[in-house]
A and B are shown apart, each in its own frame.
Chain A
Amino acid sequence: DQQVKQNSPSLSVQEGRISILNCDYTNSMFDYFLWYKKYPAEGPTFLISISSIKDKNEDGRFTVFLNKSAKHLSLHIVPSQPGDSAVYFCAASPLRDMNRDDKIIFGKGTRLHILP
């Protein structure tokens, strides 16, 4: 069963416009959410995270929004740049359950193409 779902396998956005990547989750015990970016032939790199006590976190061009009632989060990239073309993974973790040493659970990823 998929606890973290990214329902869009790919997304194309014009350079300079806003990119919105979506993620849904099923486990109400998740209390940290993360976004990773992955280029081909490289490992994922951490982009931004948000705690469940917040509904928004911003870092430069990247903003993550969390809607706990809908169990939904989204990553906004404004403005989109060619270097943003990559696979983006949504991930979640039940940090407060300290007896469980796991683990960040990853979605399947969304491939973002920034068009010139």
Chain B
Amino acid sequence: NAGVTQTPKFRILKIGQSMTLQCAQDMNHNYMYWYRQDPGMGLKLIYYSVGAGITDKGEVPNGYNVSRSTTEDFPLRLELAAPSQTSVYFCASSYSKGHGVAYGYTFGSGTRLTVV
């Protein structure tokens, strides 16, 4: 099983550029999440989705957008990249909220983004 796949693994953006971080899971999980991890910090939730067509903001949503047109895919869009968005981005999924807290989320391997 592939689990949660994130692309690209690395990216350097110039200030003001846009990009989409891709996330796909093949476990038929309903819940999907985007987190960012800054150096020396924990993971902070950007956006999450409880199913296709349903998304909601997390703790740090400013500067990002998401969509969930299928169960499998949950892309994260940066419209106008800023240096403050330099971070490692992790996508995660779980079957349900209860399953996720009891058995943990499945995380992708991350996208390291640098904005210069």
- Spell out A's residues near B (CB within 8 Å): 4, 9, 32, 34, 36, 41-47, 49, 51, 89, 93, 95, 98, 101-109
Contact = CB atoms under 8 A, between A and B. Distances in A.
Interface string B35-51: 10000111111001010
B107 A107 contact: no
B97 A95 contact: yes
Contact of B104 (A36, A51, A101, A105): A36
B50 A89 contact: no
Interface residues of B, number: 29
Given A47-B104, A102-B58, 13 more contacts: A36-B104, A41-B110, A43-B90, A44-B90, A45-B107, A46-B105, A89-B42, A93-B100, A95-B97, A102-B48, A104-B100, A106-B35, A108-B40
A89 B45 contact: no
* Most chain A CB within a 10 A radius of its CB, from B4, B40, B107: B107
B51 to A, nearest CB: 11
A107 to B, nearest CB: 5
B42 A44 contact: no
Interface string B80-108: 00000000001010000110111111111
Contact of B102 (A32, A47, A106): A32
B101 A43 contact: no
10 nearest A-B pairs in the assembled complex, by CB-CB distance: A46-B104, A43-B107, A106-B42, A32-B101, A93-B101, A106-B43, A108-B42, A95-B101, A43-B109, A44-B107
Given A42-B110, A44-B90, A95-B97, A49 B42 contact: no
A34 B101 contact: yes
Given A101-B48, A107-B42, A42 B103 contact: no
Nearest to A51: B102
